[in-house]
Amino acid sequence: MRAPSLDRRSFLTFAGLAGATAALAACGGPSTSGGDGDAGGDIDYSGVQPASEITWWSNNPGSSEEVSRQIIERFQQQNPGIRVNLVTAGQNYEEIAQRFQTAQAGGTLPDLVVLSDVWWFRYYMQRSIVPMDPLIDAVGIDTGDYREQLIEDYRYDGKLWALPWARSTPIFYYNKAHWAAAGLPDRAPQTWAEMAEWGPRLQGAGNGTQNAFQLPALADYAGWSFQNNLWGAGGAWSDEWDITCDSPESVAAMQFLQDAVYTDRWAGVAGTEGTTDLSAGAVSATIGSTGSLVTVLESSNFDVGAGFLPAGSVSGPVCPTGGAGVGIPAGIEPERQLAAATFAAFLTSPENTVALSQATGYLPIRESADISPLLAETSLRQVAIDQLDVTRTQDRARAFFPGADGEIARTCANILTQQADPQAELATLKTTLQGIYDGDVAPNL
């Protein structure tokens, strides 16, 4: 159950108490009425000298710590006046967000922090991150060179609140040997209807699998990849600020997935990660992040295929963006903010986006980046790059509502592991999401 939202004054009192982090975690995420910084006010950085030392908080997404340290070393060689300390501030996006929230209530703030797709907006509402625009001007970042689909995710109220960094989309992974055994063409299914035809053929091909297809682990951002299913059917978790998760189209999308598990029996649900099940040969196909590409290839002893997410019954191919960017806290001195922006510009440079992509599978975020080394290493990277042309900004109910991703995951779990009625579950979800919007979002816009 979601706890009542706290107003700004009571939150600051509450967050200073011992055990605040645990209490906030029990609420499904930090309150959105935290710091007193003015995130909307632009700072004049003219005449400001960058600080000599900064701290970067990261959760090292996609096992990126080694490449991050290499980037830091190159930065310090070119900028000997700024030392960068990399701190592993959490094992995932949720843990780093909790630590950042705790620091808002009186701890030591970082100078640069990783902000995932479902966490940055609550910090905008808290006024605890600064707009990047004046810093972009101060350090001379060419925002026109970032891939538009990836940088515009961080724009709200006419300002940019983060820079893209470890950005990803879900893609369709499959076992080519299993495909061949079933007599299927060497490609991903073009539509979900086609996958429903292929599923039984894969099940009967003697591949020794648990399931032909493995739905992503529900606790692992099910609301992210399932946007493809909802959008393809003409539904969505929300339309701007309007909650639409219980629309007939959304219900039909979730009913299709439930039927694939319980009626037609060609799909299952991953316990931890669908890509792990694929690499182990337990399933023939799954959907996973592009950030998992290198791990999937290295851990599989078969030829891996990849393709766009399947289209639905209403729209053509459509895919959500995802992953993380980097932002700068409002509660630190301008000198630290300027030094952090100087490093962020280097971190997200064309050369370093290639280095990150090569080590992990995350998308190259700069248009001018030379991606030929990436494609020479594996042509599958081209799939993710090409799929950017059919990406769509995520539904606000999933990305902007605090704690909503967890609520969506619980609903999906009820439908897909408990065989609960999709219509009833999504109606309940709508009530929950509306409560989050009314209590935690609308008052802070």
- Which CATH number is 48's domain given? 3.40.190.10
Q: Which domain covers residue 201, as residue numbers?
A: 170-320+396-444
Residue 36's pLDDT is 44
What was the pLDDT predicted at 41? 60
* 434 inside domain: yes
To which residue do tokens 């808290």 refer?
126
Same domain, 331 and 434: no
186/161 same-domain check: no
pTM as predicted: 0.88
Residue at token pair 């030379």 = 370
Give all strands (DSSP E) within 144-297, no chain letters.
Answer: 155-156, 159-160, 163-168, 170-175, 211-215, 238-239, 242-243, 267-269, 283-289
Considering the domain architecture, whether residues 92 and 136 belong to the same structural domain is answered as yes
> Is residue 121 domain-shared with residue 103, that is, in the same domain?
yes
Which phi-psi region, left, alpha or beta, contains residue 158 (left: φ > 0; alpha: ψ -120 to 50)? Answer: left
Residues 308 and 342 in one domain: no
108 alpha-carbon distance from chain centroid: 26
Q: Are residues 129 and 269 in the same domain?
A: no
What is the full per-residue pLDDT of the chain (445 aa) written as tens digits?
A: 333 333 332 323 223 333 333 333 333 344 444 444 444 467 899 999 999 999 999 999 989 999 999 999 999 999 999 999 999 999 999 999 999 999 998 889 999 999 999 999 999 999 999 999 999 999 999 999 999 999 999 999 999 999 999 999 999 999 999 999 999 999 999 999 999 999 999 999 999 999 999 998 887 678 999 999 999 999 999 999 999 999 999 999 999 999 999 999 999 999 888 999 999 999 999 999 998 888 999 999 999 999 999 999 998 999 999 999 999 999 999 999 999 999 999 999 999 999 999 999 899 999 999 999 999 988 899 999 999 999 999 999 999 999 999 999 999 999 999 999 999 999 999 999 999 999 999 999 9
Report the pLDDT value the prediction gives residue 217, as an integer from 0 to 100: 86
- CA within 13 Å, CB half, 389: 6
Report the number of distinct structural domains present in the chain: 2
Does residue 152 sit in the same domain as residue 97? yes
Which residue stretches of 2-47 are H helix?
Answer: 8-15, 20-26
Q: Please check whether residues 43 and 129 belong to one and the same domain.
A: yes
How far apart (Å, rounded) are the C-alpha atoms in residues 406 and 396?
14
Give the separation between CA 222 and CA 208, rounded to whole angstroms: 26
41 located within any domain: yes
**113 and 228 co-located in one domain:** no
Distance CA 216, CA 229 (A): 12
Across 255-309, where does the E strand assignment appear?
267-269, 283-289, 304-307
Do 352 and 71 form a contact (C-beta atoms < 8 A)? yes
Answer whether residue 63 is part of any domain: yes
User: Same domain for 186 and 61?
Assistant: no
